[in-house]
Amino acid sequence: MFCPNCGKQTPNAEAKFCASCGAPLPTGDGGAAPAASYAPPPGAAAPSGYHPGPMSGPVPERRGFLGWLVGLRLWQKILLGIVVFVVLVVALAMWATSGLDEPVKRHFAALRSGDVVAAYSELSVAARQATSLDDFKKMVAGAPALTHVTGTSFSTREVTNGVGHLAGNLELDNGGKYPIEIQLVKENGNWKILAYRQQSALSSPSSSP
């Protein structure tokens, strides 16, 4: 029988009091042995399945983006910075020139359909003040290729000090190309054509319509 007070065993199963501490002993089944706890001695390996309690020590930190970034070598950080810079420059250029060729497409589509007034409306206020509608009609009549444009192909798209610049070719319905430079400005949030001229330094169309 085990004493519920001190845990000592009393050989006499009929004893009513603990021989060690004098505490009353339970009657009936002689008492159950107290649950024994086990802790491995210092330096000894713990048996399989033994869990002494919550794990001690720092919990490994989960690596996120910042952890990955900090772990990069110096040359990798420099390379990453260059790539990010280039991407930002390209994105900024695309944003700045977005919609730059839209009034140009409308302008030449109107000339192709014979609607000179609609084409004239795509010019900026400054361009209309410098060139009357009658003068514009004369200019178009003197350059018949402008009324045969089926598409555009610009190799240069840029905006400098609020002025847009396009340079490239107008694609003609006879397969020829009309090299052109176009300047644009924004009015009320919309691009308008300020001026354009044929690039004489480039090759002219093989044939004119």
Give yes or no: residues 86 and 129 share one domain: no
Give yes or no: residues 107 and 84 share one domain: no
Q: Output the pLDDT for position 21.
A: 79
Q: Output the pLDDT for position 134.
A: 95
- Residue 203 gets the label, from left (phi > 0), alpha (psi -120 to 50) or beta, of beta
Give yes or no: residues 113 and 192 share one domain: yes
178 occurs within a structural domain: yes
Q: Output the pLDDT for position 192.
A: 94
32 occurs within a structural domain: no
56 occurs within a structural domain: no
Give yes or no: residues 84 and 131 share one domain: no
52 occurs within a structural domain: no
133 and 115 Cβ atoms separated by less than 8 Å = no
Q: With the C-alpha atoms ordered 17, 23, 24, 29, is the resulting torsion angle positive or negative?
A: negative
150 and 171 Cβ atoms separated by less than 8 Å = yes
Give yes or no: residues 78 and 159 share one domain: no
109-114's contacts with Cβ under 8 Å and 24+ in sequence apart are: 109/149, 111/140, 111/146, 111/147, 111/149, 112/147, 112/148, 112/149, 112/150, 114/147
Residue range(s) defining the domain that contains residue 79: 65-97
CA 146-94-103 angle, to 5 degrees, is 30
Give yes or no: residues 88 and 160 share one domain: no
Give yes or no: residues 159 and 92 share one domain: no
Q: Output the pLDDT for position 206.
A: 37
Asked which of 53, 75, 97 is the last residue of a domain, the reply is 97
Q: Output the pLDDT for position 28.
A: 58
Question: Rounded CA gap, 165 and 130, in Å?
Answer: 19
49 occurs within a structural domain: no
Position 152: which residue type?
A: T
What are the per-10-residue average pLDDT scores of the chain (209 residues)? 76 76 69 50 56 54 71 83 77 64 93 95 94 93 92 90 91 92 92 86 37
The total number of structural domains that make up the chain? 2
27 occurs within a structural domain: no
pTM of the model: 0.53
Q: The domain that contains 135 carries what CATH number?
A: 3.10.450.100
Q: Output the pLDDT for position 148.
A: 95
